[in-house]
Structure 1
Amino acid sequence: MRYKRAHRGAESDEVAVNPLFARRGEERVPRFSLPTEEMLPETAYQLIHDELLLDGNARQNLASFVTTWMEREADDLYREAADKNLVDRDEYPLTAAVEERCVHIIAGLWHAPDTQQAMGVSTVGSSEACMLAGLALKRHWQRARREAGKPSDRPNIVLSSAVQVVWEKFANYWGVEARQVPVTAEHPHLTAAGVLDAVDENTIGVVPVLGLNFTGCYEPVAEIASALDDLSDRTGLDIPIHVDAASGGFFAPFLHPEVRWDFRLNRVHSINASGHKYGLVYPGVGWVVWRLREHVPDELVFDVSYLGGDIATYGLNFSRPGAQVLLQYFNFLRLGRRGFTRVHQVCQDVAVHIAGELDKSDAFEVISAGTDLPVVCWRLADGRRRNWDLYDLSNRLRDRGWMVPAYPMPKDIQDMVVMRIVVRNGFSIDLAHLLLDDVREAVDYLNHLEAPLPRDVRETKSFHH
C-alpha cells in the first residue's frame, strides 16, 4: 500500500547531513533505503532532531485532542519504563498489577456496579477499544440468536453519521452493517427518535458518543437509554448501548458529574475512553470497561501460556508498551479527583471565553461554546457577502503558527463548513488572547480583499476528525 509523502521536501532520494557533525562518507544518506554503512549514534540523532524542527509547535495545534505535554516526573517515568512489555506479566508483574488498578479506578469513575469485579483492559488508543467493544456486542448478539434458533448472519450497529471513522472501520472489518442515523443542522447528533427508527432484531447495539469530534457536544445517552428501555418493555427487543467516550470519558466525571451517561444506566454494557486525550497521558493508551463480566463472551478471552506464565488476554495486539499505562496511574495518583477537576475547569473556562469573544464578531455564528467538552466550533454568519471563507481564515492563522482546522460537517449536513478549537491542558488564557488577536487581525485582512483568493492559494490540507 502506498501513501502520499508527508511533505514536498521529501522528493529527493537522499538526505544531506551537516558536515559539522558528520564523519567523512556520511554527508549524504539514502532517504528511502537502508544505508550500507553504520553511522555514529550522535549523527543519527542530530539528523533526525534537525528534521523534526520543521514540525509544528504542539501548543499552537488546536486541532488535536491528544495530550502533548506532561510533567518532568512523568517524562522520567516514561524513559524508565520504555522497555516494559505489558503482556509479559511474568517479567513485569507490577506493571500488570498497575493496569488492573487503573481498570478498577476507571470502573469506579464510571459507576460500575462492582468495581472490584469489573472487566476491562488497556488498549492502544480508543480505536482498539472500540473494536473490542463492538466485537463483544456482535458475539453476544450472535450467541443469543443461535440459542433462540434464529439467523445470526445480518448484524447491524446503530450510530449517527457524526461518529469517528473507527466505527466505519469496525463495521467494514467485522462484517456488520453500519446504520448511520442522519444528523441535521438543528440536531447534529444522535437522537432517541433516530435510534428507534433504525434499530431492529438484528441490531447488536447502539453507540452514542460522549463528545463528538466535530463539535465536542455530548450525545443524549440517558435519553437514548430511556427510549430503548421503553422499546424493550413494549416489544421485548433488548438492545445494549456502548458509549464511545473517547474524549468525554475522562472529562465528564469531573466537570459534569450530574450527567447520567455511564454504568448508572443499566442499558450501558461497555464504555471506551482515550487515556491520551483528557486522561492527560502521552499518545498510545486507551481503555475499555464492561459493566459485567458476562458481557464479554468467553470465546473472545484467550488463555495463553507464554513468557513464563499463564495469562488471560483480550485484545487485538499482543506485545505492546506498558509505559503509557504507568503514566495513566501516575496521573491518577498525582491529580486525584480534585486535580483533574481543576485542570479540566481551566480548559473549559478558556474555551467558554474564546466562544464568547468569537460570538461578539458579526462574522461568526458559534455552534458549540465549550460547555460540554472544552471545544469551540463556529461557522460564518449568514447574510453577508464575503470574498473569503473559513478555509482562507484557517490558512491565514496557519501563517501565524496556529493549527485551527476548517472542515465540512458530516454527511447529511456536509454543506456546512465550520472551524474548531480544542482546548487542552497547557493552552492558557494568555495564549487564548494571542489567538483571538490573530483571528481579529486575519478577519480584518480578509475583509479588505477586493476579490476572492486564487483557488491554488486557498487550498488547504484536508482535516481528518
Structure 2
Amino acid sequence: MDIIRHPVSSLKFVINDSFNGKEPWQIVTITTTTIFLGVWFYDFLFQDESIIDRGKKTVFRLAKLIPSIKKRIDDELSSISKNFKDEVEERTKHTTYITELPHAKLSKKDIIEALNTNLGLGDYDWKNGLVSGAVYYYSPDLIDVVSEVYSKTSYTNPLHSDLFPGLCKMEAEVVRIAADLFNGNDDTCGTMTSGGTESIIMACKAYRDYGREVKGIKKPEIIVPTTVHSAFDKAAQYLKLRVRSVRTDPNTCQVDVNGVRKAINSNTIMIVGSAPNFPYGTMDDIPALSELGVKYNIPVHVDSCLGGFLTCFMEDAGYPIPPCDFRLPGVTSISADTHKYGFTPKGSSVVLYRDVKYRHHQYTVTTDWPGGVYGSPTVSGSRAGGNIAVCWATLLNFGREGYVSATRDIVHTTKYIEKGLRRMKGIFIFGQPVTSVIALGSNDFHIYRLSTALKERGWNLNVLQFPSGIHICVTHMHTQPGVADRFLNDVRDSLFEIMKNPSLPVEGKMAIYGVAQELPDRSIVGDFTKLFLDSTYYVPKRGN
C-alpha cells in the first residue's frame, strides 16, 4: 500500500536499495546504460513507421539474404527489366537514336522531321478523346496564340526581375486571377509553380517552417486521406515530415473526419483534403475539415490540383457543389493546376495562401552567400518565363465565359457517362463523382479485364489499386460529338464478352499489376517501379 500512497518515495527507496554496496564506476555504468537503453527504446517505439510495419520490413529484408530467395527475386526482377526494355525496343524499332552531338548543325527541316517521328511513336488517339486525362484541351486556335506568346518569351526568366519585370507582372496577375476565382480577398496571395507536385511541396514546406518557427514544432506531421495525391508522400520524403494517413469511407470515398480529429496532436502542421481526389473523383468534406482547422488552430490545405479549375466555375455552369475554397474560414491554402482544366500548356500551377505569413515561409532565402543575397519563391531558381506567359495568355484567351462554357460541357459529359455506366450490370462506381473523374470496380470479375478489353478498342484508362479499379478522367476532348457514346458502347460490348466467363483470370500487363498489389513486401513493388522508370531512359544499342 505504501508504494501506491507514496510512489516517489518508494521509487527512491527501491533505487537506493538497488545501488547499495555498488562501486561508483558500477553506478555510473548502470545509470549510463539505462539511459541509453531508454532512449533507444523510446526511438524504437516512436518512429514514423509502426512496429508492425518495421517488423515486416525486417523479416522481408532478412528473407532476401537467403540465397535461394535472393536468386529467385533477382531473376524475376531481371526478367521484368528485360520486358520493359523489350517494349522500348519494339516501340522504337523503326527509328534511330541520336547518342552523340552532331558534328555539324542540323537544318530546321531535319530537326522538325526528327521531332515529328518522335511524336509519332505513341499509339493512342488522344486528340479524338480516347485517353483519360493527360491532355485536357486542344485547339489549333489556342496553339497559334500560345506559340506566338512562347516564341517571344522562351528565353525570359523571372529570377532576373530587373531584366524581365513584365514576366513578374504577368505572374502576379495569374496569382490574383486565381485568388479571385477561389474567393480570396485582398490578403490572399501565392505563387506560380511548375505543376501540382511542386505546389504541394511548397505548401508542405511553408507549413513545416511556419510550425517550426512560430509554434516550435520539431517533429512535423501532416494529416492526409489515404486517397490524397502521392505528391504529399514525395513532399514528406523531401522535407522529413511524418504522414498520418486517415482511411476513407468505402462507400463515399471521403476521408473519415473523426479519424482526422483523432490523428491531430501537438506536432500537426497541416490537415489536407482533396477537392476532388485523383483515384475516385470524390470530394472530401472540406467544410468539416475547415471546422477542425479553426478549432485546433491548424492550417487546412485543399488539394484542388486536378479539378480546381472546374470547381471554381461549376456554380456558374449550373452544377453547384459544397464550398471548398477560401469562403471557409479554416482553409488556409489551395493548390490548383492551370495546366489541367485551366487548359494552359504543361508546366504551370498555382499555390495560394490566405495570408502572406504562410507564403513567407514558402520562400527560400540565403543571406550570407558570397554571390550576394539570394531569394527564390519556389523550388527552382531560374524559371521558364515562357510557361508563365502562355499560362497568362491562355487565361485571358478563355475569360470567365469561356471557362464556364467548357466546365458546363465537361461536367455534363461526365454525368452523362456516369448515368450510362450505372445502368450496366457487372460494374459499380466508387462514391459520387463531383467533377470529372469516374472510377469503376466490379464484384463479378477482375476489373482489370475491362481495362484490357478497352485498351484493345483504343482506350487508355488509369489503373487503381487497394481496391482494384479503373477510372476515366473526362476532359474537353471527350465532349466532342460521339466520344461519350463510343465509350459507353465499348464498355457495354466489353462487359458482354467478359460476363460470358467472368471467372477468367487477368492476363498480360494487368496480371503483373494485379500480382503486385498482393505482394506483402512493398519494396519489391518499388523495385518494379524503378525498373520501369529506368526503361524510360533506356537507349537501345543499335547505332545512329
TM interval, short-chain normalised: 0.7 to 0.9
SS in 1 for 2:291: helix
Q: Deviations over 1:373-429 (max 9, x none)?
A: 11112212x3x4xxx532121112112221023322xxxxx1x32221111112124
More helix by share: 2
* Residue number in structure 1 paired with 2:477: 426
- Measure, in 2, the Cα distance between the counterparts of 1:419 and 1:347: 19
Secondary structure class of the residue paired with 1:247:
coil
Among 427, 438, 442, which residue is 1:376 paired with?
438
Name the residue aligned to 1:440.
492
Please tell me whether the aligned partners of residues 190 and 359 of structure 2 are also in contact (alpha carbons under 8 angstroms).
Answer: no
Aligned to 2:504: 452
Q: What CA deviation, in whole Å up to 9, does each residue of 1:256-275 have, x standing for no partner?
A: 46632222222222111111
- For residues 228 and 291 of structure 1, the distance between their equivalents in structure 2, rounded to whole angstroms, comes to 13
Check conservation: 1:352, 1:369, Cα contact below 8 A. no
Q: How far 1:75 sits from its partner (Å)?
A: 3.5
* Number of positions where the alignment pairs a residue of Structure 1 with one of Structure 2: 424
Letter in 2 for 1:419: I
Following superposition of structure 1 onto structure 2, how do residues 185-334 of structure 1 map, counting pairs within 5 Å?
185-229=250-294, 232=295, 237-256=296-315, 259-297=322-360, 300-302=363-365, 313-334=376-397
Match of 2:133 in 1: 64
Is 1:90 the equivalent of 2:147?
no
Residues 73-118 of structure 1, C-alpha deviation per residue, up to 9 Å, x if partnerless? 234333443333232323322122111011111111122231xx53
**Do the aligned partners of residues 95 and 35 (structure 1) sit closer, same or farther apart at CA in structure 2, a change above 3 Å counting?**
closer
Give the C-alpha shift of residue 328 in structure 1: 2.4
Q: Deviations over 1:196-229 (max 9, x none)?
A: 0101111001011111001111111111112343
Determine the C-alpha separation between the residues in 1 that align with 2:328 and 2:418. Answer: 32
Answer whether contact 1:158 1:179 (CA < 8 A) is retained.
yes
In structure 2, the CA distance between the partners of 1:337 and 1:422, relative to structure 1 (3 Å rule), is same
Given that 1:155 and 1:202 are in contact with CA atoms closer than 8 Å, whether structure 2 keeps it comes out as yes
Corresponding residue for residue 196 of structure 2: 126
- CA distance in structure 2 between the partners assigned to 1:343 and 1:125 by the alignment: 21
Aligned mates of 1:283, 1:326 — CA distance in 2: 12
Contact preservation (8 Å) 2:202, 2:362: no
Report the equivalent of 1:163: 228
Please give the secondary structure, in 1, of the residue aligned with 2:146.
helix
AA aligned to 1:154 is: K
- 1:158 is paired with a residue whose SS is strand
- Greater shift, 260-269 or 56-65, is seen at 56-65
Equivalents in 1 of 2:354, 2:324: separation in Å?
Answer: 13
Q: What residue is the counterpart of 2:206 in the other structure? A: 136
Whichever residue aligns with residue 40 of structure 1, its letter is L
Matches within 5 A, 1:173-184: 173-184=238-249
Distance 1:458 1:261 in 2: 36
Task: Give the equivalent residue in structure 2 for 1:22.
Answer: none
2:171 to 75, 99, 123: 99
Q: What's the CA shift string for 1:429-459, capped at 9, x where partnerless?
A: 4111112222222222323359725734753
Aligned counterparts of 1:339 and 1:296: Cα–Cα separation in 2 = 30
Aligned residue for 2:22?
none
CA distance in 1 between partners of 2:156 and 2:368 (Å): 19
State the secondary structure of the residue aligned to 1:271. strand
**Considering only CA atoms, is the larger Rg found in Structure 1 or Structure 2?**
2
Q: CA RMSD in A?
A: 3.2
User: Shift in Å at residue 189 of structure 1?
Assistant: 2.4
Structure 1 residue 252, shift from structure 2 partner: 1.0
> Structure 1 pair 461/61, CA: closer, same or farther in 2 (3 Å)?
farther
Partner of 2:523: none
Q: Which amino acid aligns with 2:461?
A: V
- The range that moved more, 100-109 or 455-464, is 455-464
Alpha-carbon distance between aligned partners in 1 of 2:504 and 2:154, rounded to the nearest angstrom: 51
Contact 2:277 2:283 (C-alpha < 8 Å) held by counterparts: yes
Q: Deviations over 1:260-291 (max 9, x none)?
A: 22222222221111111111112110111111
Alignment of 1:110-121 (within 5 A): 110-114=182-186, 117-121=187-191
Query: Does the 8 Å CA contact 2:306/2:337 hold for their aligned counterparts?
Result: yes
Q: Which amino acid aligns with 1:379?
A: G
Shift of 1:52: 2.6
Structure 1 residues 460 and 159: alpha-carbon distance in aligned structure 2, compared to 1, 3 A threshold:
same
CA distance in 2, matches of 1:314, 1:373: 31
User: Would you say the 8 A contact 1:379–1:417 is kept in 2?
Assistant: yes
Q: Tell me which moved more, 104-113 or 72-81.
A: 72-81
TM-score (normalised: structure 2): 0.71
* Aligned equivalent of 1:43: 110
Q: How far did 1:312 drift?
A: 5.4
**1:353 pairs with 2:416:** yes
Specify whether residues 84 and 417 from structure 1 end up closer, same or farther in structure 2 by C-alpha distance, changes over 3 A only. same
Question: Is residue 95–residue 322 contact of structure 1 (8 Å, CA) maintained in 2?
Answer: yes
Q: In structure 2, what is the equivalent of residue 389 of structure 1?
A: 446
> What TM-score do the two structures reach when normalised by structure 1?
0.82
| Stretch of structure 1 that moved more, 433-442 or 353-362 | 433-442
- d(CA) in 1 for partners of 2:446, 2:278: 22
Distance 2:273 2:502 in 1: 45
Q: Unmatched 5+ residue regions in structure 2?
A: 1-79, 518-528, 530-544
Q: Distance in 1 between matches of 2:495 and 2:333?
A: 45
